[in-house]
Amino acid sequence: MSPAEAPYPYERIRRHLEDRIASGHYAIGQKLPSETELMRLFGVSRMTVNRAMKELEAAGLIERVPGSGSYVADRRAQGHLLAIHDIAAELARRGHRHHAQILERETLAGEILADAGFPPDTRVHRVRIRHFRDNEPVLVEERWVDLAVAPAYEEADLTVETSYQVLMRLAPLQKAEHVVRAVAADRELAAQLALVPGAPILLVHRRTWARERLCSVADLWHAGERYELVGRLS
């Protein structure tokens, strides 16, 4: 290849990461090398690395999470009305900050879990998390995760990483199902979302599978007046 035909430095980085994502070297949900590591590896500036990462993000190959890093996106989820997104990345794309507060967490086992679809002997870690857009609560997440599929979830710091980020790293999803309905906020949810009791809430009930078994069951309560559902079909 002549000098005139040689790719620009940012293209070399982009192609390198594209090839490794396509080959499976970097799995869905896996964290990519940091900008500093890529600068050192390719001998380029941060601006050059940033341009490559922006192009990968625009192509839907990665998700960039401020303060956390860049992760391989699950392209299989794109194009559906209810594509699965990381709330931290989604808020960042819209120019907002995300932070989370753990309200409850515990490890459970027993027949009560059968209601969620887990076998009776499953050890499940349950969390209840409040998510903020800037300083405004927008989402309460209650999630049950099968520890046989993602054992490290039990110790994960869910104020540093979202459930999406942790699970995509530990057990990338194979399929998902959603049930969506409008509900009225009870007193507990109203207090947690800074709403008045009876205010409209959008409830998304989601189940996801990984490694050929049910991995996660979640109830996601979105503050109705602060949330919009956007779907694109092609």
Span 97-150, pLDDT tens digits: 999 999 999 998 865 666 677 887 889 999 999 999 999 999 999 999 999 999
**CA-to-CA dists, residue 33 to 26, 40, 43, 148, 164, angstroms:** 10, 11, 14, 28, 19
Structure tokens at 221: 């309560």
Q: What is the C-alpha separation between 220 and 206, in angstroms, rounded?
A: 8
Domains and CATH numbers, the chain: 9-73 (1.10.10.10), 80-226 (3.40.1410.10)
pLDDT of residue 219: 93
**pTM (2 decimals)?**
0.64
pLDDT digits (tens, 9 = 90+) for 7-49: 688 889 988 998 888 777 888 778 899 999 999 999 999 999 9
**Bridge-partner residues for 131, per DSSP?**
100, 139
Higher-pLDDT residue of 139, 2: 139
* Terminal CA-CA length for the chain: 38
**CA-to-CA dists, residue 105 to 142, 143, 146, angstroms:** 9, 9, 14
pLDDT digits (tens, 9 = 90+) for 147-176: 999 999 999 999 999 999 899 888 888 888
Structure tokens at 1: 């290849």
Q: What is the C-alpha separation between 120 and 36, in angstroms, rounded?
A: 47
Structure tokens at 159: 């104020």
Give the amino acid at 166. Answer: V
Do you know the residue count of the chain? 234
